[in-house]
Amino acid sequence: MALNIVWFAFFAIALAVACVKCAITGDPHIFQTLGEGVFDAAKTSITDVAFPLAGAMIFFLGLLKIGEQAGIVNRLSKLLGPFFKRLFPEVPKDHPATGHMVMNFSANMLGLDNAATPFALKAMDSLQTLNPDKETASNAQIMFLVLHTSGLTLIPLTAMAFRASMGSVAPAAIFVPCALATVSSTIMSILVMTVVQKIRIDWVLAGGLAAMAGLVAGLLLLVDSLSEAQRNTFSQTAGNLLLLILIVGFLTAGLIKKVKIFDAFIDGAKEGWAVVVRIMPYLVGMLVGIRLFRDSGALDYVTQGLGWAIGRLGVNTDFVPALPVALMRPFSGSGSRGMMLDIMKRYTPDSFVGSLASIMQNSAETTFLIIALYFGSVGIKKVRYAIWTGLVADFLGVVCAIVIAYIFFHH
Q: Which residues contact 80 (CB under 8 A, 6 or more apart)?
A: 98, 102
pLDDT tens digits, one per residue of 229-240: 776 676 667 656
pTM of the model: 0.72
**Is 73's pLDDT higher than 60?**
yes
What's the CA gap between 190 and 393, in Å, rounded? 9
With b for 16 or more beta-carbon neighbours within 10 A and e for fewer, the 150-187 pattern comes to bbbbbbbbbbbebbbeeebebbbbbbbbbbbbbbbbbb
- CA 370 – CA 408 distance, rounded (Å): 31
Query: Residue 113 above 70 pLDDT?
Result: no
Of 39-43, 292-296, 308-312, the least confident: 308-312
Q: Do the Cβ atoms of 72 and 252 come closer than 8 Å?
A: no
In tens, the pLDDT along 183-216 reads 888 888 888 888 888 888 888 888 888 887 787 6
Q: Across the chain, what does the average pLDDT equal?
A: 81
Q: Where are the chain's structural domains?
A: 2-409
- Residue 15 above 90 pLDDT? yes
How much is the pLDDT for 334? 67
